[in-house]
Structure 1
Amino acid sequence: MTDIEMPRPERIGLEDRSSGRLGRALSHIRQRGLLEPVRLVRRHGLGASLGFVRRNVRHILADHLARKWDRRYGVDTAGSIQLDALDVVGPHRGKGNEAVCTSPRTFDFIMRSLPRDLRDYAFIDIGSGKSRTLLLASLYPFSTIIGVEFARELVEIARDNIRHFSDPSQKCRSLSVVEGDAAAYEFPEAPLVVYFYNPFSKDVFDIVLKNLVSSLEQQPRDCFVIYGSSSHRAIDWARPAIRSTGMFTELPVPPMPRFLDAVRTIDYAVFRIQAASRR
């Protein structure tokens, strides 16, 4: 498979804070002088400064690997896309978090907690961004894969990615993206795997979770909920919110390793409800 160059986010009007970090750092030093790093170390201390450098090196490496993955498949999924200037559906613009992609190794590690036989399950990515998770999910045998995204520009990129993506090991080719507010999304009646990567604030999550619970009560079926977060400590409120429904059992999962293709290590939890247990 040959590498294909896709349009960079800045060429299509998106603000990507993952792009050009090294260039911005060098520009800052040119403006402030070669002694600026020394001044920063004195101001913040050696330990804090080394931690800052490590985080940025990890971010640059992960971003490089994400863009390399994109070139391999001729898609555009990398970056940390800000939502401020995007055309958004619904009233929750200020509640959404930046659009970032799940790393392939992180996703594959999470998938070990699910059954091997997923042929009857629909995979739903709430806040699907530019579709990286949808494409990764297509390498598993789901019956259908659906992304829910409220930013029109990201929906267009995602649909274009789906058209271009091709891998010999792809097991599901029924991929689609719904443009809409997640709080108004109606879940399909199939068994579900519902994936959240810290897409929005707790008040919106509570609405989506309530809608999911209502759907499962009206049409009992098997369902897995995966929640991951690498910032805002969202897992600390998402986990008890899911437990408080009284419907889901939290599965034991191993801690996430520090993968090089991940900007940050994800804290995650996996929950399950079986239709038989609701009868």
Structure 2
Amino acid sequence: MFEGLFENLPASVLWVPFVVVFVGAALQVATGVGLGLLATPAILFVLDGPAAVQVAIILNLTLTAFLLPLEIGYVAFSRLYAISIWACIGIPLGGFLLLAVGNTSLKLICGVVVIFAVLQLRFFPLPVLKSPVQLRWLNRMGGVVSGGMTGALAAPGPVALWALLSSGLETAAVRATLRAYFLFAYVVAFAVSILLVGSSTRVWMMSLALMPALIVGIGVGIAGRRTIGATAMRGLLELVLLAMGISMLVKGLSDAGGF
């Protein structure tokens, strides 16, 4: 069924998307973010930009659909609506950005975004905002920027997480609302991507090929959250993101002839 899917690809890169999707799914389940930031850069090793983003969206939608029913009772719908409405502006902008840059530039962008996400998660937590005016602007900026990252990189997590944490929600509500936002953002981003570039059999075959890694990663993430603890899993997330960000920068510079 997968005949021709990986032809002309060096054996040294074939393992990358499978391992990274497994790790990303486990970290997403345990910490709330991970798969979106990791999947697109990993799949860029074997597919071009628009196809890689579509595969990443399909994988993220599958994970979200699996987990959201378990958390739906904790969703803060007012915050969800406030961010989602502004994401509708950012997602098409991100889609057009994806079409405007080549694969090499996209790898460099991915590397920079992932490294900045690590720095944000580690060093720059926003203070909790209580002013209604501040919250409105936080929703606007969080929605537009995370929407743009969804359309361009299939990675809404860091900015949306930042915005929700700064709104003063409890941890369970943040995780559930983030999950519900992912469902909305990825559906809209996938529809925009189909309208802009269409889809292909290769996208669906790659998505199907990566499903076992995703499913095993979900199981490991659930077990890890219970046995290892959220703090240790967050530290692991930061290490993996840093390694992926550096790898994408090196790959992008190499493709550009930088060294």
TM-score bracket for this pair, using the shorter chain length: under 0.3
TM-score with structure 1 setting the length: 0.26
The structure that has the greater radius of gyration is 1
Greater share of helix: 2
* Structure of higher RCO (CA pairs closer than 8 Å, 6+ residues apart): 2
TM-score with structure 2 setting the length: 0.28
Greater share of strand: 1
